[in-house]
């Protein structure tokens, strides 16, 4: 990734000046649920667990928006100023299989949209929208269809310093970042022609930035975990080529609503078991011990092969999958998603 000074902007406005860091966050809602086209990279990311008829499933829905710098000064309506990407995946736990799909298009021409003012992202017949009754995702994919409603059960969680999340040793590696943990999810999942009425829990992340990765970072490890008691755990680290941590962070919100934001050095990821992908030959840790100020946790993938090949859209190969959270007493206390990037190849954004 090319390193450059960040462009300051109030969310949703054009950048005003070149400086070294993003300004403190003053996020406003529903405005900041919507797109921020002045920033280079943005994503809306929902992961979750659902069950029906004795079956267990994981699901992932992600919409990305990417600013195309070379076309920003053009006045032609045909200039591709923003690109919209989308990924969708379903993990069939009993079937031990991951299914996924991806799309990409430039914004406009009634094909792709990342609207400002509130969440409304669309790519052909895939969509993610927020309304009075919560969030709704509909994605008819190749051999599965997701049609899910997500209802908040807790207040929005601002990550980092009131929504400004550091991602590196220098202040220009930062993002605006909030989460909605403990979403109640329900809807339908169609898998190879079989329809399931599912319900479960989900986690939503919305993040946007001008520059995210330090020049030494090759990727990251991240967990977003809904605990059974209503707590929420976020932990991440940015990783160098040799596997060492360049930066780490996260947060823990208790069931009572108390929030502790992790300082650098308080989070540690220690790989316990690895799985090698037959597709990419990348070796992924599918079981971790993650040390946080809240507890020492074991994170264990429910299915080893949850690698996604998105080279046809974002250009990356990464691992992202449903995992259990086990506390230091050996008790399973939650479930959520583990994401690992930069193992098959250096992540470029």
Mean pLDDT of 167-196: 95
Write the CB contacts of 238 (distance below 8 Å, at least 6 apart in sequence).
Answer: 167, 168, 213, 214, 217, 219, 220, 245, 246, 247, 248
Question: pLDDT at position 344, please?
Answer: 85
Q: What is the pLDDT of residue 109?
A: 86
* Domains recognised in the chain with CATH numbers: 29-340 (2.40.370.10)
pLDDT band with cut points at 50, 70 and 90 for residue 211 = confident
| Higher local confidence (pLDDT), 72 or 165 | 165
pLDDT at 41 (0 to 100):
93
pLDDT at 74: 74
How much is the pLDDT for 76? 67
Q: What is the pLDDT of residues 297-341, one digit of tens each?
A: 999 999 999 999 877 666 689 999 999 999 999 999 999 999 999
| End-to-end Cα, the chain, rounded Å | 6
- pLDDT band per the 50, 70, 90 thresholds, residue 155: very high
Confidence band (pLDDT; 50, 70, 90) for 4?
very low
Predicted local distance difference test score (pLDDT) of residue 78: 64
Cβ neighbours for 184, distance < 8 A, ≥ 6 positions apart:
150, 151, 152, 153, 199, 201, 202
pLDDT given at position 122: 97
Q: Please give the pLDDT value at position 108.
A: 86
Mean pLDDT of 250-279: 97
- pLDDT for the residue 49: 98
- The pTM of this model reads 0.90
The pLDDT-based confidence of 270 (bands split at 50, 70, 90) is: very high
| pLDDT value at residue 142 | 86
What is the spatial distance between Cα 31 and Cα 119, in angstroms, rounded to a whole number? 8
Among 81, 125, 77, smallest CA distance to 103 is for: 125
What is residue 79's predicted lDDT score, i.e. its pLDDT? 65
pLDDT of residue 15: 39
Q: Which of 224, 250, 225, 226 is nearest to 238 (CA)?
A: 250
Query: Quick check: 13 pLDDT over 50?
Result: no
Whole-number mean pLDDT of the chain? 90
Q: Would you call the peptide bond into 32 cis, given omega within 30 degrees of 0 as the criterion?
A: no
C-alpha–C-alpha distance, residues 284 and 300, integer Å: 12
- 70 backbone dihedrals φ, ψ, rounded to 5°: -65, -20
Give the pLDDT score at 25: 82
| Mean pLDDT lowest among 3-17, 99-113, 169-183, 186-200 | 3-17
pLDDT of residue 33: 98
pLDDT in tens, 86-126: 999 999 999 999 999 999 999 888 899 999 999 999 999 99
User: pLDDT confidence of 68, banded at 50, 70, 90?
Assistant: confident
């Amino acid at each position: 990734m090319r390193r450059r000074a960040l462009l300051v902007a109030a969310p949703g406005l054009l950048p005003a000046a070149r400086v070294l860091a993003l300004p403190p966050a003053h996020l406003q809602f529903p405005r900041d649920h919507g797109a921020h086209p002045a920033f280079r990279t943005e994503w809306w990311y929902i992961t979750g667990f659902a069950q029906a008829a004795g079956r267990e499933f994981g699901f992932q829905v992600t919409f990305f928006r990417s600013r195309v710098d070379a076309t920003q000064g053009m006045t032609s309506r045909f200039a591709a100023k923003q690109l919209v990407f989308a990924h969708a995946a379903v993990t069939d736990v009993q079937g031990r299989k991951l299914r996924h799909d991806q799309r990409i298009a430039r914004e406009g021409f009634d094909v792709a949209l990342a609207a400002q003012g509130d969440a409304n992202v669309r790519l052909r017949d895939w969509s993610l929208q927020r309304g009075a009754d919560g969030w709704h995702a509909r994605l008819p994919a190749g051999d599965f269809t997701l049609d899910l409603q997500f209802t908040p059960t807790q207040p929005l969680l601002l990550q980092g310093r009131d929504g400004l999340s550091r991602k590196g040793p220098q202040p220009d590696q930062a993002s605006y970042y909030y989460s909605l943990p403990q979403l109640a999810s329900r809807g339908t999942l169609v898998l190879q022609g079989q329809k399931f009425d599912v319900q479960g829990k989900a986690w939503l992340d919305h993040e946007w930035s001008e520059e995210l990765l330090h020049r030494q970072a090759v990727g990251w490890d991240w967990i977003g975990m809904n605990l059974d008691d209503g707590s929420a755990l976020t932990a991440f680290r940015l990783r160098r080529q040799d596997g060492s941590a360049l930066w780490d962070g996260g947060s823990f919100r208790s069931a009572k609503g108390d929030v502790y934001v992790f300082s650098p050095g308080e989070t540690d990821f220690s790989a316990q078991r690895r799985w090698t992908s037959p597709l990419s030959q990348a070796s992924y840790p599918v079981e971790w011990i993650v040390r946080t100020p809240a507890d020492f946790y074991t994170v264990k993938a429910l299915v080893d092969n949850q690698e996604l090949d998105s080279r046809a859209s974002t250009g990356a190969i990464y691992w992202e999958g449903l995992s259990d959270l086990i506390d230091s007493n050996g008790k399973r206390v939650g479930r959520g998603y583990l994401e690992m990037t930069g193992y098959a190849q250096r992540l470029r954004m």
